[in-house]
Amino acid sequence: MNQPEIELSATQAVRSHADPDRWVDEHGDCLYRFALMRVRKEEIAEDLVQETLLVAVRTHEKFGGRSSERSWLVGILKNKICDHFRKLGRETNFTDLEFFSDEHSDRFDGENYWIHERGPSDWKPEGEEAMKRAEFWQTIQTCLAKLPDRVATVFTMREIDDIPSKEICATLNISEANLWVMLHRARMALRQCLEANFFDGQGGARL
């Protein structure tokens, strides 16, 4: 055999072999964070990353490099996360009843109108400009972390992954009415947390 043919064979050999060690090094953290944000438990996130990479090893030849390696792996992970939630929905009552207690009832008067001093403050002039500041994102992360697990899961599915309501309900085996109450509470809590810890303090650290 002359040189070029040997080199070609070597390259083909490399491409057709999955490289899980490298995947763990290059993509492990990203996959782990992606899962952790959505499932909220470290052990589960790690399991899902493992299952994802196992599938990747099995199906690597079909991958063919159409998209980036990372987005391919994230795609597999998304399916694994979805399977996890479907299973959770079958096995547990996913509705977070404790969170239904109205923590914000003290902001409304007896007639259910906002008490003026306790109503939403004005987030302008900063408004959307706040999104350029690191403290804004830190505050959002901290506020998200305060949400109870099941509510956080539902909220991230809807607001970050943009999954339609009906699909969330089908996956988690909950009613639309329950979903909407959970989202309402999550949004109210998040808005309040962001206001108290970012906008009202002009971004000062009061967490």
Per CB under 8 A, does 140 bind another protein? Answer: yes
Map the footprint of another protein across residues 52-91, applying CB under 8 A: 53-54, 57
Alpha-carbon dihedral of residues 191, 33, 38, 104, nearest 10 degrees? -20
Per CB under 8 A, does 106 bind another protein? Answer: no
User: Rounded to 5 degrees, what angle do the CA atoms 45, 48, 53 make?
Assistant: 130
Nearer to another protein, 5 or 180 (CB): 180
Among 67, 114, 146, 170, binds another protein (CB under 8 A): 114
**Candidate segments 60-68, 80-88, 90-98, 175-183, binder of another protein by CB under 8 A:** 175-183
**With contact defined as beta carbons under 8 Å apart, do 203 and 192 qualify?**
no
Alpha-carbon distance of 127 to 125, in angstroms, equals 6
Nearer to another protein, 99 or 136 (CB): 136
Over its C-alpha atoms, the chain yields an Rg (Å, rounded) of 23
Among 11, 59, 83, 137, binds another protein (CB under 8 A): 137
Q: Classify 108 as helix, strand or coil.
A: strand
Alpha-carbon distance of 151 to 148, in angstroms, equals 6
Nearer to another protein, 30 or 82 (CB): 30
| Token pair of 8 as six digits | 């070609």
| Per-residue binder mask for another protein (CB under 8 A), 13-52, x = binder | -------xx--xx--xxx-xxx-xx--------x--xx--
Residues 6+ apart with CB under 8 A from 153: 38, 39, 40, 85, 172
Alpha-carbon distance of 100 to 118, in angstroms, equals 21
- Please give the single-letter amino acid code of residue 49: V
Nearer to another protein, 50 or 173 (CB): 50
- Please give the single-letter amino acid code of residue 61: E
Among 5, 91, 98, 122, binds another protein (CB under 8 A): 122
Per CB under 8 A, does 187 bind another protein? Answer: yes
Residues that bind another protein (CB under 8 A): 20-21, 24-25, 28-30, 32-34, 36-37, 46, 49-50, 53-54, 57, 108, 111-114, 116, 119-123, 127-128, 131, 136-137, 140-141, 144, 158-160, 162, 165, 176, 179-180, 183-184, 187-188, 190-191, 194-195
